[in-house]
Structure 1
Amino acid sequence: MSEPTDAIPIEAVRTWLHCPRRYEFAHVDALEPEPDGDRDSQQARVDVIRRSICTALRRGEDDADTLYEAAVDRLATLWDAHDERFHSRAQRTHERTVLEATLRAYIDEFGADHAAGIRRLEAETDGEVIGPVLPLARSVSLPAPDGSTADGPTADDESTARSRTVRIDATVDYVYADGSSIVGVRFVPTLAPLGLVRYRSDWEGDVERLFTDHFDTETDAFDPEPVAALFETSVVLEGLRRLCDRLGLERRTCRYVQLPLADRTATAVNWIRGTVETSLEVADLTDAYVDHHTFGMTLEHRNRSVDDRLARVVARLLDGGYAPADRWPQIERNACPDCEYAVCCPEYIASEVRFDG
Structure 2
Amino acid sequence: MPQSPAVPRTPAADPDAGRPAAGRTGAARRTELAAFLRSRRARVTPEDVGMPPGLRRRTPGLRREEVAQLAGVGVTWYTWLEQGRPINASVQVLDAVARVLLLDATEREHLYRLAGIPFVREPEADTDTVGEETQGILDALDPLPAAIYNARYDVRATNATYRAMWPMTSIVERWERNVLYKLFTVPACCQTFVNSADELPWMVAQVRRSYGRHVGEPAWESFIQLMVESSATFAQLWASGDVAAPGKRIKTFQHQAVGVVTLSSMSLSIDGMAEHRYVVYTPVSEEDRRRIETLRSFTDPVVGCSEHGRKLSVILADREGGDASRKSKERDPSASSADMPRSLTRGATGN
Q: Which has the larger share of helix?
A: 1
Q: Would you call these one fold, judging by a TM-score over 0.5?
A: no
TM-score, normalised on structure 2? 0.20
> Per chain length, whose mean CA-contact separation is higher, i.e. which structure has more relative contact order (CA < 8 Å, sep 6+)?
1
TM-score normalized with structure 1 length:
0.20
